[in-house]
Amino acid sequence: MEKPSPDQQKTLDAFIKTAQYLASLTTQQDVWSEVGKVLVNFFGADLVAFGERRADGEIIGRHWAFSDQVSSQRNLGSEAKEAIAEVLESGFLTSQLVFTPDPLSVAFLPITQENQVTAVILVGHRMSEPLPKDLLNVYLAVAGLAGTTATRLASEIELRQHRQHLEKLVKERTAELAIAKERAEAADRLKSAFLATMSHELRTPLNSIIGFTGIMLQGLAGPLNDEQTKQLGMVQSSARHLLNLINDILDISKIEAGQLEIASEPFDMRQTIGKAVRTVTPLAEKKRLALVAEVAPEVDQITSDQRRVEQILINLLNNAIKFTEHGEVRVECRISDGWLVTRVVDTGIGIKPEDMGKLFKAFRQIETGMARRHEGTGLGLSICQKLVEMLGGEIWAESGWGVGSTFTFTLPSSPSLRGTK
């Protein structure tokens, strides 16, 4: 390779410095003023300007930069305007010698941004002969760098605007969410207050309806004839049903509002099973179903919420009796792998495989011609599941249509196991 002449070496150095300088520009700086400075300082140009076409078609010059030697003169001459128009049109470099009145050799360099000639750089050197070809080639490369730099800075600015816009959007959305959350919380507080009031306002009169119809049914308020006894019996059973419904709805609401307090105290599981079984015995007797409890010898004290465990047991036993016409209902309880496993097994109508997925969903009763004969709220299993989960266990069902069902729930048999599942 031929060794560059001292002049070529100087131009090459200037170009490298230019490339480095333009690469370091940030969006704070104006590309065109900086390119002006570079051409004056690194390449010794006497004049630099940018020519472009305004929206009205007029060719104008901007960002003039001068070395000390050239007097300030800011209007473009008609020759310069023509040259700029030509370069904008063709995209090719031109150069010419003008007199201002001193001789000035000017190059017109196209600036290309995204495949379009957007402006023209005018570089003038005070000399009376045409600019050397080598220098013109380097200038063309500088114009290329200027175009890429301008494109880069423009996209950086655009990116920043997008980011700011996004940040603004996020802030707005966050504020909206905060308002929505505040509203939801207010509504929730209102709901809780409403439920607490309703619980009292509905339960109290219902209990007195149930109590007083009971008194009348017992004949304590005077003798009743058969028809009156029958009608009052219906009043009492409807009132009981309504009370159950209210209690269930209150339970679900409290669980969902996270307001249900769970106790954690030692109690005797064997006794709790006995109590639940005694509660449902009249129902089983009415249907002539055998009611069996099989509690393994190792089952005694567990630490959990006695009242809630009893509620789960009664719910499952009630279902088992409700959906069984012949045979027996059995409770089994044993300890397995540190878990207290309780099963309620019946020989009733069972559940079709396609209906298994509907179990444990609030207000879902499985629609069979038969099920309609059974009253209920469809909340029992959903409450059981939530309670079991709160107590640290699991509940599931197995069933065969026409064969019977088994509902199993687990509870941690010692408090240390809580929360491990």
The entry of Mg ion, ligand ADP, none near residue 311 (CB within 5 to 8 angstroms by kind) is: none
Closest approach, Cβ 240 to ligand ADP, in A, equals 13
Distances (CA, A) of 224 to 82, 211, 227, 240: 119, 16, 8, 21
Cβ-based nearer residue to ligand ADP, 27 or 408: 408
Question: Using the rule CB under 5 A, is 147 a contact of Mg ion?
Answer: no
Q: Alpha helix (H) ranges present in 260-356? A: 269-286, 306-322
Question: Using the rule CB under 5 A, is 319 a contact of Mg ion?
Answer: yes
The entry of ligand ADP, Mg ion, none near residue 269 (CB within 5 to 8 angstroms by kind) is: none
Cβ-based nearer residue to ligand ADP, 63 or 364: 364
Burial class for 339, CB neighbours closer than 10 Å (0-12, 13-18, 19+): buried
Cβ-based nearer residue to ligand ADP, 31 or 329: 329
- 31-41 helix and 6-23 helix, angle to the nearest 10 degrees: 160
Nearest alpha-carbon partner for 66 in 87, 45, 83: 45
Which positions lie near ligand ADP, rule CB under 6 A?
319-320, 323, 346, 348-351, 359, 365-366, 371, 376-382, 405
- Report how many residues bind Mg ion under the rule CB under 5 A: 3
Applying the rule CB under 5 A, the residues between 363 and 382 that interact with Mg ion are 376, 380
CB 302 within 8 A of CB 411: yes
Closest approach, Cβ 175 to ligand ADP, in A, equals 42
Nearest alpha-carbon partner for 108 in 52, 41, 149: 52
Distance from C-alpha of 111 to C-alpha of 139, rounded to nearest angstrom: 11
Instruction: Show the tokens assigned to 13.
Output: 């150095």
Cβ-based nearer residue to Mg ion, 376 or 415: 376
CB 388 within 8 A of CB 396: no
Cβ-based nearer residue to ligand ADP, 288 or 372: 372
In the bound state, the residue with its beta carbon closest to ligand ADP is 376
Closest approach, Cβ 288 to Mg ion, in A, equals 21
Choices 245-253, 260-268, 305-313, 314-322 (CB under 5 A): range interacting with Mg ion:
314-322
Cβ-based nearer residue to Mg ion, 82 or 389: 389
Backbone phi and psi for residue 249, each to the nearest 5 degrees, phi listed first: -60, -40
Question: Using the rule CB under 5 A, is 412 a contact of Mg ion?
Answer: no
Closest approach, Cβ 317 to ligand ADP, in A, equals 9
How far does Cα 229 stand from its chain's mean position?
59
DSSP state of 121: E
Chain residues in the site for Mg ion (CB under 5 A): 319, 376, 380
